[in-house]
Amino acid sequence: MSRTTTITVQGMTCGHCVAAVRHEVGLIPGVTGVDVDLDSGAVAIASDGDLDPAAVAAAVDEAGYEVVRS
């Protein structure tokens, strides 16, 4: 079942940051789409089934940023 999880990521400043977050989060199993709003830091993650919040936090950390609200 498809669902969307929205988190807030702190520290993104440009299109490169957006691409890095999109890439890392997109590698999480089950993720089918990642939509990033640079201005607000909102990251909408479309997935098949439930997302593991720890996996999302790890992916954002891998990209070099931090989840401030999930």
Binding stretches for Cu ion (CB under 5 A): 13-14, 16-17
Q: What are the residues whose beta carbons fall under 8 Å from the beta carbon of 28, sequence distance 6 or more?
A: 45, 47, 51, 52, 55, 56, 59
Q: Considering beta carbons, is residue 13 or 54 the nearer one to Cu ion?
A: 13
Q: Which tokens belong to 29? A: 């199993």
Q: Whole-number minimum distance, CB 63 to Cu ion, in Å?
A: 10
Q: Considering beta carbons, is residue 16 or 39 the nearer one to Cu ion?
A: 16
Q: Whole-number minimum distance, CB 7 to Cu ion, in Å?
A: 18
